[in-house]
Amino acid sequence: MPARPAGSGHTSGHAPAEGRAPALGQGMTMASTEDEELAFGRFALWPRRRVLLADGAAVELGARAFDLLEVLVRADGELVTKETLLDRVWPGVVVEENNLHAQVAAIRRVFGPDRDVLLTVAGRGYRLALPVLRRLVAEGARGDSGSLPQLSVIVLPFASLGGGAGEDQLADGVTESLTTDLAQALVGGGVVSRSTAVAYRDRAVTARRIGEELGVRYLLEGSVAAQADRIRVNAQLIDATTDTHLWAERFDHPRDGDALAAQDAIVGRLTRMAVLRIIDADARRAGAEAAPDAAGLALRAWAAATTARMSAEGFGAARDMFRHALSLDPGSLEAAAGLAEAETYAVMNGLTPASEREARLAEAQDLADRVLAARPDHLGALRARAVALRALGRFQRAILAAEAVLALCPGDPPACREVGLNQLYLGDPEEAVRRFRQADLSGPHDPARWTWMQGLGRALMQMGRDAEAVAALRLAVEGNPAWARGHALLAAALWLNGEHPEARDHYAEFARRVPDAEARVPSRSSPVPADRISEAYHRHDARILRALGDLEAGLPKQ
């Protein structure tokens, strides 16, 4: 092959090494203190720090060979042509093909007995014959490839039980989208690539064996069966280390003309439940350790915050664990984003003293901004930003932040809820209802389900659909009976629907939980600035306030 001309227009496959920014701390910015690990066999590549590990120990590899290896690893088993390698590794430079051969030889020398995993495709190029697992590793991690990474999962190809081309396409689409969405949702975790997972289609291999071969902790598998009017989905999450089921679910989804919408709804539901179960399982693992590290503490805190259900004790415990994790690792993106989310939710749900509200909200915004400066696609930080903006009454900007989450992970229930709540304040209850129902499609068994069901109930009352509001608010109260204002909202819906005796019972329960009559006045408990709320919202809400006024007036005099 002749020398490659300069000025080919292609960019290098590897960015220049960055200087290390200060760790997260008072007056500092969030450093990008996590590196991507590309693990294959007994090797692992850390591109940001330009480190190659073999059996957990760093090995020497020249700069050009490192760049070439990174291109091959990122191709994940696909052929990379000689021309592509020359363009990527020597951009804009005239080189002979023997330079490429020399760097390939250098990589094979480092691989030693595993040299044959770098395959030559005669006359065309090279490819790596090992599956690649991607995950994030924290600054200072040892890169011990002998231990399983936290949150590592493989989505095995979903089986098509229908047998037709359309059903096969649906099953493949669910598998591919689920792999993509889990990779977004499990920030700090690793999701095996789709091309690697396909190799296990129709293979009679145990979960434990797959876990050992790929170094993953969890397997997600399932099937799709499509009928004329519905799609039935079965899914199972398996712990690969014990070969036991952590979660299994079967559900039906309506089959209409919009195949992509149905696929998004199915994937959104599976993604949310799998993430919750994986986080809970890994949090239990971390809790069993005598002295969990920052990553383990952050996992435990995420699990505690998810199941807190408006409990001051639960949120307090989560905040303390996030803060402890940050003290152990000031650069932890997960701990910073988790603390930001916990603080914003605590502020919005009345769990923060009024005197501390402004400071806690400012801290949460600062933490979210620092995380997003390092990882613009961090879902937790984006959610925290959306809630903080809603707290400030910046409803349109809050919607944009929540929509950024949905662009990365369609159907994410908390993000759908945030869009719905902001649409309510903007005076559009119809759009709010649509978003709350979208959240419920993805999270019908979610611990946070009550948060969007209460929003749905309020929106339905604003539209005069009181019987539907009663049904939604019953679910909200069942999901979190400790939330006092849930009883008040249900009482208002019952009152408007003509069910006065039960309405009085629920309002009496609200009064028992909030004995101060002044604190029961709705205007005193608004989580957002009243002057930012639209006039349309106030008009729609007037009937609810009248119902609450009637119920308050009917309380026995003290």
3-state secondary structure of 387: helix
Predicted confidence at residue 501, as pLDDT, reads: 96
- CATH of 153-286, picked from 3.40.50.10610, 1.10.1660.10, 3.90.1150.10, 3.40.1160.10, is 3.40.50.10610
Predicted confidence at residue 489, as pLDDT, reads: 97
For the chain, give the mean pLDDT: 84
Highest mean pLDDT among 143-152, 262-271, 417-426: 417-426
CA within 13 Å, CB half, 210:
28
Q: What is the mean pLDDT of residues 184-202?
A: 79
Overall CATH class of domain 429-558: mainly alpha
Q: Could you tell me the pTM of the whole model?
A: 0.72
Give the tokens for residue 117: 């995993």
- 142 has a pLDDT exceeding 60: no
User: Which sign does the torsion angle of CA 301, 307, 308, 314 carry?
Assistant: negative
* Cα–Cα dist 180/86, whole Å: 30
Highest mean pLDDT among 24-33, 251-260, 342-351, 544-553: 544-553
**Best CA proximity match to 423, nearest among 407, 409, 438, 442:** 438
Q: For residue range 23-57, what is the model confidence (pLDDT) as tens digits?
A: 333 333 344 445 578 888 888 888 877 888 887 77
Beta bridge partners, 127, equal 119
Q: What is the mean pLDDT of residues 354-363?
A: 92
Predicted confidence at residue 500, as pLDDT, reads: 97
Predicted confidence at residue 16, as pLDDT, reads: 31
- 148 has a pLDDT exceeding 50: no
**Best CA proximity match to 389, nearest among 544, 215, 251, 527:** 527
- The yes or no reply on domain 34-138 and CATH 1.10.760.10 is no
* Cα–Cα dist 30/331, whole Å: 7
3-state secondary structure of 211: helix
Give the tokens for residue 124: 């065309």
Predicted confidence at residue 469, as pLDDT, reads: 98
CB 393 within 8 A of CB 528: yes
Predicted confidence at residue 92, as pLDDT, reads: 82
Predicted confidence at residue 310, as pLDDT, reads: 64
* Domain positions in the chain: 34-138, 153-286, 429-558
Q: For residue range 372-383, what is the model confidence (pLDDT) as tens digits?
A: 998 888 899 999
* Cα–Cα dist 482/443, whole Å: 20
Predicted confidence at residue 111, as pLDDT, reads: 92
Indicate the pLDDT class of residue 144, thresholds 50, 70 and 90: very low
Instruction: Sheet containing 118-121: give its strands across.
Output: 80-81, 125-128, 118-121
Predicted confidence at residue 55, as pLDDT, reads: 74
